[in-house]
Every structure is written in C-alpha cells, then in structure tokens.
Chain A
Amino acid sequence: MTLDLTQVSVTHANGVQALRGVELHIGAGEQVAIIGPSGAGKSSLLNLLGTALPPASGEMQVLGERVWQLSARQRQRLRARIGLIHQAPPLPPRQRVVTAVLAGKLGQWGMGKSLLNLLHPLDVSGARAALTRLDLSDKLFAQCQQLSGGQLQRVGIARVLYQAPEVLLADEPVSAMDPVLAEHTLSVLCRHAREHNVTLVASLHAVDLALAHFSRIIGLRDGQILFDLPTDAVDRERLDKLYANEQLQPSPAPPSPLSVQIPRC
C-alpha cells in the first residue's frame, strides 16, 4: 500500500477538529478523487497525506514509512518522493516561471547544482517540456506575478510534474481554470499518473470532473469518510446526501501584493 491511514484524526492549531477517525488505504498506481462540500476536510486530508500536517492520533504510513517517526533528515528525503499541488500555488511573485518549475527537483539536487540553478537555469528544456504539456511554454521566462490565477495553478502543476514524484497529491488543482482547460489539465495529470505508475489523489469541487477522470471516489463530509467506492457505484442518492444543505463559505482573501517601501531618514 502506498498510503495507509488507520483511525487518523487531525486537529488544527486553533482547536478545530478537521478529520475524525479516517480509515483509508490507497495502493500504488491508483487514481482517487476526493469530493465533498467546503469545509469537509479535503485540504486537511491532502495536507496530512503530503506530510504537511501531523496526525493528532492514529497510524499513518506513506510509501511504507511511518512519516512522523522518521528523523527530520529522512523525512525530507521521503518528501522529495511526494508531490503536493496547492490550490493557490505558493510561488514568489518576483520569481521567474522557469526557476519556479525547476525548484521542483530541489529535494533531489545537490548543493552546487541548486545554487548554480539560482543564477542560471540549468535545465531549461526540462522546464519547457513540463510547461508544454500544460500549454504554457510561452510563459517560460515570464515572472510569476504576470500570470493569472489559472496560469499560476498550471505552473504549480508543471513544477510537480517536473519533480516526478511517486505520489501525486492535488488540492483543487483546477479551481481557477475554465471548464475546457480544467478538463485538459486533469487528463494530463491522469495520463502522467498512468504512464509512470504514480499514485494520484486529487480533491475536486466539480463532481462531473471527478466522475469522468477517476476510477475511485471518496466522499468526505464533516471530517469523516461518507463513502469510498468505485466510480460506477456512485449514484445520485449518495451525492445528494454528501452535499445536503451545504453552507456557503466566504472565499479566503487574496494575498496582498508585494510593496516596496522606502523610509525617509
């Protein structure tokens, strides 16, 4: 098993319990979609799998390792084998796209190569190839702050594709894209996962996309798994129950733009 969760709970720093008693087993090469209303704990689950969050209780294994019992050094080495696509990719606005994409392999490169790459991109063709698959190769040398939200998301995906991890976790990877682009991007992700036998777990807002591209669907509500079924077995009734009286939540405020201030004296 690639990802193993046994009775795992997650509590955020502010005391909110995001996941309760989650039981989940995902094998190598599986393609799994996580759906559910906002606030169900989709992001928490993905961050947990991506070793960004420690579990409050329960057993967790990623790629056969007990992540939180490893030394910090071993955990970093493990993390280089996991790729996490963020909903709003945390890319520095002034960084160039090519550097942002090449940063995907930092966990695998040595000291000298990483430092040199900062001054002069060492693998332009690699970055270009990753971006070309997402139809974004013309933005190779643009700055991240010049891109739209959907383009930024694709840069974040390109970075993970370039990283070539064994486990690919995607948190709402296509939320800022139009339907056609979202369709295309998801199929690129799925094809990549199939071709390289990569385990893919993605959380999605759009149920139709999840049903169209993934073979296994997990319904998450209130921090608990409501159903975990092959796509064919997911019916209307279960979906209605999953999304019953969903509350509208305000979207998080966009980060403030970078400003340069100069003091007077």
Chain B
Amino acid sequence: MNRLINALLFLCIGAAVVASFAYLGIDLGQLGDSGNLNRMGAYAQRFLSPDLSPSHLKAIGHGALETIAMSALGTLLAAVFGLVLALPAAGRFGWPMQSASRLILNALRAVPELVWAALMVLAAGLGPNAGTLALALHTTGVLGRLFAEALENTPPEPAEAIRLQGGNAVWAFCYGTLPNLMPQLLAYSLYRWENNIRMASVLGFVGAGGLGQMLYVSLSLFQEAQASTVILAMLLLVLAVDTLSSWSRQRWVKA
C-alpha cells in the first residue's frame, strides 16, 4: 500500500512536469535547433570581451561599494528593528502585542525583497536608498522571527535572579538574557548579511541602485562588453562573500 502511494506520487510529479512544459508551450526541439542556437551563441560571444577600461572599472568599484553599503546598513537597521519587534513577538508584553507583532513580522517577511524594492522606488525615488530600505524591511521580518525564537529558547533563570535582587525588567534583560542571546543574534545577522549582499546586487533591476542598476542599464543600451564586466564583478563579490562566510563560520561559530 505504501509503495503504491509512493508510486502514484512519482506518477503525479511526472505528470506535473509534462503538464508544465505543455502549458508553457516550450518546444525544446525548436529551442535547440541550429538557427536558434547560432543566434544565442552570437549573443553570448559579445560577452566574451569584457570592458576593462579604468573608467569603467572605477564605476564598477563604486557600484560594488554601494552594493556592500546597502546590504550592511539594511541588515543593521533590520537587526535593530527586528530585536524591537522580537521582544513583543516572544510574548514579553502579553498576547495582544504578541499576535500583532507576529502579524507584522510575517507580512514583512512574506513579501520578497525585490517587490519591496519596487514599492520603495515608488516611495523614496530611484537610487540605493530605496534598496537599503527594501532590504531592511524584508530582513526585519526574517530576523525578527529568528530573534523571537531564540528569545523563547533562552533559559529564564539568570534574568529571574536579577529580578530577585531588585533589578528592573530592563536590567534583567541586559544582564540575564542578552549575554546568552548575543552570539545567536550575531550569527543570524551575519547569515542574513551574506544573503543580503547577494540580493543587493540584483535589487538595481527595479532601479534601487548598486551593481544591478549598472547591469540593467548597460544591457538596455546593448553594451554587452560593459555588462559582462559587471557580471564578473557580481561573481567575484558573491564568491568572496561565500569564502569569507564559510571561513568565519568554521573559525567562530563552531568553537
């Protein structure tokens, strides 16, 4: 019986795949015919000679710094707001506050960064400011939820001991809860930052600054040579972040 259900499930998955191709009307044969491949090859060839002129490299450097700054500030803002929202979301101020803040966090988290960026471009105009705000909004939702979970899992005894000595709730939190919580909060924030650098490099597609905006503009102007340099820069940025994070994780978090 179990095997039968599993076999049926695989059949369903297969059917879903076939139906998807049929619905989209993608003809892989036509896509792979020689004329089409030739056109795509010719298009790809134009990317093979990246523009490495100093002025363009300088512009890319500026774009990369903008990307990093957007992600760092977005994550920092999100960590602050996330913690502010996580306190009620962990049930510190009673259940009405808890459900309200959970609702806010879920709503912030559910809307993808790029959609937030498109909305923020409408509100704050083109440029990196919109991207920073978009990252901050989405990341607040993500970090707030993670922080609230961490907060619920911290042992309450140290904070209660401070209360028993006559300290108020704020000191109980700062001296009893925060020392245990801090490494976890840092780990979560760094992990999100790593994600956000990746996101920040593409938010520019909707006009929110950074490398993405450069790529979008140069592709729209059919400057493939310039575009390929931007893609290379993105690749380098992502690889650097990956290496750095895996190194720092081995170095700091495991210990």
Q: How far is the CA of A95 from the CA of B181 in the complex (A)?
A: 10
Q: Which one of A84, A95, A115 lies within 8 Å of B179 (CB-CB)?
A: A95
Contact A79 B249 (CB under 8 A): no
Q: A18 at the A/B interface (Cβ < 8 Å)? A: no
How many of B's residues come within 8 Å of A, CB to CB? 30
Beyond A99-B175, A263-B146, is A94–B165 a contact (Cβ under 8 Å)? Answer: no
Residue among A77, A78, A258 with most chain B CB within 10 A = A258
Contact B158 A115 (CB under 8 A): no
Q: A106 at the A/B interface (Cβ < 8 Å)? A: yes
Q: B155 at the A/B interface (Cβ < 8 Å)? A: yes
Contact A260 B183 (CB under 8 A): yes
Contact B165 A80 (CB under 8 A): yes
- Residues of B contacting A258 in the complex (Cβ-Cβ under 8 angstroms): 180, 183
- Residues of A contacting B165 in the complex (Cβ-Cβ under 8 angstroms): 79-80, 82-84, 103-104, 106-107, 163
- Residues of A contacting B187 in the complex (Cβ-Cβ under 8 angstroms): 260, 262
Contact B162 A94 (CB under 8 A): no
Q: B191 at the A/B interface (Cβ < 8 Å)? A: yes
Residue among B146, B171, B177, B178 with most chain A CB within 10 A = B171
Q: A70 at the A/B interface (Cβ < 8 Å)? A: no
**In chain B, residues 129-180, which have Cβ atoms closer than 8 Å to a Cβ of chain A?**
146, 155, 157-158, 160-168, 170-171, 174-180
Q: How far is the CA of A51 from the CA of B174 in the complex (A)?
A: 22
Contact B174 A79 (CB under 8 A): no
Contact B253 A94 (CB under 8 A): no
- Residues of B contacting A115 in the complex (Cβ-Cβ under 8 angstroms): 174
Contact B253 A262 (CB under 8 A): yes
Instruction: Name the prevailing secondary structure of the B interface residues.
Output: helix
Q: A52 at the A/B interface (Cβ < 8 Å)? A: yes
Q: A126 at the A/B interface (Cβ < 8 Å)? A: no
Contact B166 A80 (CB under 8 A): yes
Contact B179 A260 (CB under 8 A): no
- B residues in contact (CB < 8 Å) with A: 146, 155, 157-158, 160-168, 170-171, 174-180, 182-184, 187-188, 191, 249, 253
Contact B180 A93 (CB under 8 A): yes
- Residues of A contacting B184 in the complex (Cβ-Cβ under 8 angstroms): 260-261
How many chain A residues sit at the interface, stated as a range, is 35 or more
Q: Which one of A50, A93, A118 lies within 8 Å of B174 (CB-CB)?
A: A118
Q: Which one of B161, B178, B249 lies within 8 Å of A90 (CB-CB)?
A: B161
- Across the A-B interface, give the 5 residue pairs with the lowest CB-CB distance, nearest first: A107-B166, A80-B166, A90-B157, A106-B167, A92-B179
Contact B162 A106 (CB under 8 A): yes
Q: How far is the CA of A50 from the CA of B170 in the complex (A)?
A: 21
Q: A255 at the A/B interface (Cβ < 8 Å)? A: yes
Q: How far is the CA of A255 from the CA of B155 in the complex (A)?
A: 9
Q: How far is the CA of A92 from the CA of B164 in the complex (A)?
A: 16
Q: How far is the CA of A106 from the CA of B171 in the complex (A)?
A: 7
Contact B164 A51 (CB under 8 A): yes
Interchain Cβ contacts under 8 Å between A and B, 6 examples: A81-B166, A82-B165, A82-B166, A94-B182, A111-B170, A263-B146
